[in-house]
Copies of this chain bind each other. A is one copy, B any other.
């Protein structure tokens, strides 16, 4: 007898939001397509302009569409890429929901596998990029403003692993670590001596998956542990 319907009084804008979202998922609007204009949506959904605008605004906040104004404006379905997971991770850390240790651990888990996959899919072009990055790295090591040069190898590997999700995760963690450690500027030469990437690069180019994974593991093992200690001290002295 109690099998009556639970009348879901969903908010109108949520309803519109969901329907538009589903339509995009269903491929009724593909990348580059323009959603119906506000006026048309008002007609279709029989709601006020406020409701429509809130719904479309929600789509924009979700990264699904981009809104342009003007005569040829409207809400255009955006090319969604793997940056969404990166920015989600970014938010989680800066809201204090994710610890530095978790970031390091995640790097330690993912990057060796990324190196393995990169070794599996290594092409001559990738090899060239890796060698160039490593040469540059050794060259500019004395200039402290070129810290980012030391990340190039990691970025190249992330792109070369041919798994965009894992690549995005790796790059995101890398980004967070360097953002955080930038604050207390450790002696990078000590914490990250030159030549540390050499074995990784060699293994990847040789397409030796096991060696690539092992080399990355060893690299991150010493490197991240040092960083975690430094970060720990830094946090303690600031509280």
A interface residues with partner B (beta carbon < 8 Å): 13, 17, 24-25, 27, 50, 53-54, 57-58, 60-64, 80-82, 84-85, 88-89, 91-92, 94-98, 102-103, 105-106, 109-110, 113, 117, 163-166, 169
Contacts and interface: CB of A to CB of B under 8 A. Distances in A.
Nearest to A96: B27
Contacts of A25: 94-95
A191 to B, nearest CB: 23
B61 A102 contact: no
Interface centre among A80, A95, A102 (most CB of B within 10 A): A95
21 contacts: A24-B95, A27-B96, A53-B54, A57-B57, A57-B58, A58-B60, A61-B61, A80-B91, A82-B92, A82-B97, A82-B98, A84-B88, A84-B91, A84-B92, A89-B165, A98-B165, A105-B166, A106-B165, A109-B110, A109-B113, A110-B110
A54 B98 CA distance: 28
A163 to B, nearest CB: 5
Contact of A80 (B54, B63, B97): B97
Contact of A85 (B64, B92, B113): B92
A85 to B, nearest CB: 5
A64 B53 CA distance: 20
Given A84-B92, A85-B85, A88-B84, A105 B163 contact: yes
A61 B50 contact: no
Nearest to A89: B85
Contacts of A109: 109-110, 113, 163, 166
